[in-house]
Amino acid sequence: APGPSTNDRLHTFMGGESGPWKILSCNPVKGESLPAAGRLSVVQGAPPILSSESTWTLRGATSNERYVTREEKNQLVARQVALGRPEAKYAALIPIRKSAAWWAMTQDERRAVLEDRSHHIHTGLKYLPGVARRLHHCRDLAEQEPFDFLTFFDYPETEVTAFEDLVATLRATEEWKYVDREVDVRLVWD
């Protein structure tokens, strides 16, 4: 049987004047920021109309995991929750691009940086189930995209401080030396 179509896996993030998420802040962590926008909408699949009002559009597709071990996968599945809990009124869209040096490494070398030396998964697990996440890949889409990953998180107000700790911890790791563009967009549902 065919796998899920790219259209189901595709998610389109549009910054502009409309959408349920109000943009609280948009900070360039590394490299160029995104143009200023007031609101964000997230659409699964291709948007029915190409909204001319949107100031920027980013696309990514969910995919299979690349790095997790079976043991880590079991822990993730046991703890993770889906996006969209009613109490998860806060969110972050963090588009990330990694350098040529990252992509020149082999799979086992990247795993060594990401987990053995940066503990990305081990650290992230501590923030579940308060924070819900979805990772989108951009490099496999037909059109060339400005980022390699679109990371999206939602969480209740009680997790706002914890989320700051999480991003600060990850940004201090060896893995983040390979991040050459990162924008941090914070959102509230209102």
- Binding region for ligand HEM (CB under 6 A): 65-68, 76, 94, 96, 98, 120-121, 124-125, 127-128, 131, 133, 135, 149, 151, 153, 166-167, 170
Closer to ligand HEM by CB, 39 or 120: give it: 120
Closer to ligand HEM by CB, 91 or 121: give it: 121
CB 54 within 8 A of CB 16: yes
Q: CA–CA separation, 22 vs 157, rounded Å?
A: 15
Closer to ligand HEM by CB, 16 or 166: give it: 166
Q: CA–CA separation, 133 vs 125, rounded Å?
A: 11
Q: How far is the CB of 52 from ligand HEM (least distance, A)?
A: 30
- Give the DSSP H/E element, type plus range, for residue 7: helix 6-9
Sign of torsion, CA 162 36 27 80?
positive
Q: Which residue is nearest to ligand HEM (CB)?
A: 124
Q: How far is the CB of 66 from ligand HEM (least distance, A)?
A: 3
Ramachandran sector of residue 31 (left: φ over 0; alpha: ψ -120 to 50; beta: rest): left
Which residue has tokens 């100031």? Answer: 55
Q: How far is the CB of 25 from ligand HEM (least distance, A)?
A: 14
Closer to ligand HEM by CB, 14 or 121: give it: 121
